[in-house]
Structure 1
Amino acid sequence: MTTLTEPAQARGQTIERGLLGRVADRAGSGLVQVLLILVAVFWLVPTLGLLVVSLRGESVNNATGWWTVFTKPAEITFENYGSLLASGFTSSFWNTVLITVPATLLVIGIAAMAAYAFAWIDFRGRDAVFLVVVALLVVPIQIGLIPIAKMYGFLGIFGSIAGVVLFHVAYGLPFAIFLLRNFFVGIPRELLEAARMDGAEEWRIFATVVFPLAKPAIASLGIFQFLWVWNDLLIALVFADTENQPMTKALQSQMRQFGTNMDILAPGAFLSLIIPLVLFFAFQRFFVQGLLAGSVK
């Protein structure tokens, strides 16, 4: 007599695989890999099209499609990028860097320390505070626009880069703390206990044991935060003035009522796209490791 928990294979029975199971079994075949490569190339076609459009004149773009450049390579020119730089886009690019880099580093640093405290330091009300942090994940950004705008006006930082950075940090911390805390709790307790027995304090354990082990999760968080801030438009429209506007707001201001202004929009959009793309491919190994971290015990 067999029990209900005994595997079917142990009882000599065969399990019929469904359609999805057979597809998963064949996912490593050469044909599937070729199909995945074709899908990846297909998704990169818009990026290639944007690059070609940014290298063609506005009159040529209005007359023919971007794919004609393969038969007429003489259409390629760098005049659009010259016009872009002449329009003051360089300052918007550096404003984006000044907003994105501090907002990303501050979120990583603050969230890592808070996540370590929630994971490995016993203090009164720890679980209640963590539940509040998790509850903040569902708070939409739009709710805080008016109150924070009034507070920024009172503090005198409305329209400044510092105000935009602080807003991104405040709304990026709940997800960051939640992500890193779930990773930290998977670290073996024996490592921390051994460090404490050697006389290491909590900040030293965090800096020398926990933080190095959390590089995959931190890299994943850094990519997420960087992309969110770099591509943000709503916060820039509300809290950044003309002098401190990032690229997204600068590109939005180039939209015309009866024209596309493609000679400015195309190269600007490609420059705003290429930086996150390079960052993602540079850290994709850590990104995948961070997503899979904690999935297997």
Structure 2
Amino acid sequence: MEGIVGTKSRLVWAVNLCALVLVLLWTFPTFGLLVSSFRDRDQISASGWWKAMFPAEASVQYRAAGPDTAKLIDGLYVIEGNIFDGGPGEVTAFGTSIREPGAHIVGTDVVTDDGEVVTVAGSGDFRISSTAPMEGTRGMRIFATSVTPAKFTFENYGRVMGAEGIGRAFLNTMTVSIPATVIPILVAAFAAYALAWMEFPGRALIVALVVGLLVVPLQLALIPLLKMHNEIGIGKSYIGIWLAHTGFGLPLAIYLLRNYMIGLPREIIESARVDGATDFQIFLKIILPLSFPALASFAIFQFLWTWNDLLVAIVFLGNSEDQLVMTGQLKNLMGSRGGDWEILATSAFVTIAVPLVVFFAMQTYLVRGLLAGSVK
């Protein structure tokens, strides 16, 4: 059956199934992060993101106003309020102890050890009354089991982009990533054309050197390169990190672009030379337009790498507030905001939003660029 025209082999089905599984493994967490970024802290703690569209059951702890705010009504000292602070929600049970937050039915009167009478309605309204003046400086704590409707908010993004410093880090990351992507492309395009179509001594040795540099870990060059930057006066600056990313990205750029350019039709190049075109004119008017898929493919790789980079940014740029990139700021938030899941979720999604846009906008060119030189 595998040899019949129009049928697919088992290998093709297996490849398609694996691709689908990989897509789902990346899509669901990303979508969950997006949904969580619009939820508040209580909702994230109460239920998973897949339940965001449904009412959630949660435990509520509320401290009433102090005894000095009690009002004298019909001979009773009364404190009233709402455990939801006027927001939506429905109380299913309540209690006066953290050990039994749902010990009493809503609407019933509960007498505390101090002789105070507490009652909580389903809407969250509560009433604390006493025949004698209430003592103490702090208000009573009321515990309740409640069902709150689904709610989404943009407050997390406003807080993250402002008070939490992600907005400044976002601009710093853009300042690093865009030049660090454009500069290697400009340099590598000229080098790739020379290695692909220009005859000069040592060309094969240079190609072998470029291939060898692909497997050299960048960590080996961090300290020597930083020392050189400090000696020439560009250490801990944007120029220094641009040049560092350029140096680390050039081997892949040259290798990828050369493989693509060398596969272009030779007849076009020879015809242009016969017509009197110089190498620069051939490169500018013929090679560059035809090599756009490869250029876009490398641009995606380089942009994603520089955008998600933390090590190179810390070494060559520093970790001060005015120079900290998004990965560094997110690392700091995880240390200081470990319990604020809504802040971490929003910050993480802001961090990956731009790479997602870049990838989906240029994914067609990515595939075409990666397949360059694989077939003739």
Q: Do they fold alike, i.e. is TM over 0.5?
A: yes
2:358 matched residue in structure 1: 279
- Cα distance change, pair 247–41 in 1 and its aligned pair in 2 (3 A): same
Q: Contact 1:227 / 1:276 at 8 angstroms: preserved in 2?
A: yes
| TM-score for both structures, normalised by structure 1 | 0.85
Q: 4+ runs of 1 displaced by more than 4 Å? A: 14-17, 25-28, 35-39
Q: Given residue 9 of structure 2, which amino acid in structure 1 is its aligned partner? A: R
User: Could you say what secondary structure the match of 1:138 adopts?
Assistant: coil
1:49 to 1, 26, 32: 32
Deviations 1:277-296 (A, max 9, x none): 11111111111211222222
2:199 to 122, 129, 133: 122
Q: Contact 1:55 / 1:76 at 8 angstroms: preserved in 2?
A: yes
2:158 to 82, 91, 97: 82
Q: Flag the structure with more relative contact order, 1 or 2, with Cα contacts below 8 A and sequence separation at least 6.
A: 1
Cα distance in 2 for partners of 1:114, 1:263 equals: 47
Deviates more, 1:221-230 or 1:54-63: 54-63
Q: Given residue 251 of structure 2, which amino acid in structure 1 is its aligned partner? A: P
Cα distance in 1 for partners of 2:22, 2:222 equals: 39
Answering whether residue 250 of structure 2 is matched by residue 263 of structure 1, we say: no
- Cα distance change, pair 43–258 in 1 and its aligned pair in 2 (3 A): closer
Q: Given residue 158 of structure 2, which amino acid in structure 1 is its aligned partner? A: G
- Superposed displacement of residue 128, structure 1: 1.4
Cα distance in 2 for partners of 1:177, 1:226 equals: 16
**Structure 1 or 2: more helix by fraction:** 1
Cα distance in 2 for partners of 1:234, 1:66 equals: 32
- Superposed displacement of residue 222, structure 1: 0.9
**Structure 1 or 2: more strand by fraction:** 2
Deviates more, 1:208-217 or 1:125-134: 125-134
Cα distance in 1 for partners of 2:368, 2:329 equals: 35
- Cα distance change, pair 89–258 in 1 and its aligned pair in 2 (3 A): closer
- Cα distance change, pair 288–249 in 1 and its aligned pair in 2 (3 A): same
State, as a whole percentage, how many aligned pairs show the same letter: 46
Cα distance in 1 for partners of 2:238, 2:49 equals: 37
Alignment coverage as a number of residue pairs = 277
Q: Contact 2:53 / 2:150 at 8 angstroms: preserved in 1?
A: no
For structure 2, the 5+ residue unaligned runs are 56-148
- Superposed displacement of residue 37, structure 1: 5.5
2:110 matched residue in structure 1: none
Q: Which of these two proteins has the greater Rg computed from alpha carbons?
A: 2
For structure 1, the 5+ residue unaligned runs are 1-13
1:101 matched residue in structure 2: 178
| TM-score for both structures, normalised by structure 2 | 0.68
